[in-house]
Amino acid sequence: MKQTLHTAILIFALILTGVAAQAQKSIPNAYIVTAASDTLRGQLIRESATKTVTSIQFGEPGNFRTYQAADIKGYGVEDSIRFESKEVTVGSADKTVFLRLVVDGPVKLYSGSGIEEGVEFYLQKPNSPVIQLYKAYYKGTVSSVASDCDILQSSYQGSLNNLPRYTALSLADFVQKYSACKYIGQESKVYLNQSKISISYGFRALLSSSNLQLDSDLSDVSDSFNRDNKLFGGIFLNIHMAGKRLSVQPEILYTQYNFESVYEYQHPIALDYKNTFTYKTTQLQVPLLLKYTFRANRIQPIVNAGPSISFLLSNNIKKTTTYETGQVNAKDYNDANRSVGYLGGAGLQYSLSDKKALILELRYSKDFYNNENDDMRAIISNYQVSAAITL
């Protein structure tokens, strides 16, 4: 028991260390470029995705100031991420916003989610307004942009299917090729680090409906346990490479189970009796999931699946036999210190920003417990409705 508890504490400590490391990065080193083209260095406070589109909090600890996108030329974060102030059409009005620079050169590519519905990427030619690339018909826009480059036109062979995909990497490649075609000798630089690891953490609440199957010499209670419905929760990390849909998601979930089976036996000659079998456990479930996020707008379908190991914190497993004479016999059982199983789920994710999201998910898990000393094998299956938030 002590070893199991120490393991659980260690896992919690590792996750909290990761969370703390992320928290320390919440106020990164940054700089702004003023309207007069002066560069000021300081720190940046990350706000909500909606606010960061039009304004930022910049300065030094204890002396932060709000800068509107219309008042400065742009800003950068830790010398690797650049944003520029650009005028775009939002609805029927023009608005100055911060767009993240993906390709810098004669032709520029920007990204910016949550500004205009259906638009994630923006393109700008020299001395021209910003062009919004609507996902629904961006191929037509890209084809029109490339119409004055014979090399690109011949490579696409008149088919829209050969045009770049609606991803930062694919569109960046297109912009570089187009710039090399039309602006010979002028260099383009891509600000897209595909190897960057992004880590977010979150909290999860689950409504669980569990079922116990018990295989042992206790044949009279094997398949007659009540379902156990409970609310429990946990924490998780999500680790993924920038621009990738597949991520790794370890979780720690605090779970409690309370099952009961009652079997009454009436004998025409011998004593009648009633068997009551109770199965109560508290444990930490630690799944290691692979998560796949389908690309969409703000609402994204997700699926995940992976193995799970559970560490027993406490248990109270007992069989009580009560005879008609009033005599009571009780026997205690010990469950295995840990179990193995699997967990999978599917749901929807509503993105609030690059890291923040709300998640609603349906899950199913199954855990297998083997206790050779008492010749008992327990299987707990679980249907879950989960709500989570990533930070």
Spell out the domain ranges in the chain: 27-190, 196-390
73 contacts 35 by C-beta, under 8 angstroms:
yes
pTM: 0.54
Question: What is the pLDDT at residue 146?
Answer: 86
Cβ-based neighbours of 171, under 8 Å, separated by 6 or more: 102, 109, 121, 123, 133, 142, 164, 165
Question: What is the pLDDT at residue 237?
Answer: 94
State the DSSP string of 325-337: TS-EEEEEE---S
Answer yes or no: is pLDDT of 363 > 90.
yes
Structure confidence by residue, pLDDT tens digits, 168-189: 888 998 898 899 888 988 888 8
CATH architecture of 196-390: Beta Barrel (2.40)
Structure confidence by residue, pLDDT tens digits, 207-238: 999 998 877 655 454 457 889 999 999 999 99
Task: Give the CA distances from residue 128 to residues 19, 107, 131, 156, in Å, rounded to whole numbers and listed in that order.
Answer: 44, 10, 9, 25
315 contacts 328 by C-beta, under 8 angstroms:
no
φ, ψ for residue 259, nearest 5 deg: -115, 150
CA torsion angle 147 149 151 153 (round to 10): 0
State the DSSP string of 256-290: EEEEEEEEEE--SSS--EEEEEEEEEEEEEEEEEE
| Amino acid symbol at 124 | Q
The DSSP bridge pattern shows strands 81-90 and 93-104 to be antiparallel
Answer yes or no: is pLDDT of 70 > 80.
yes
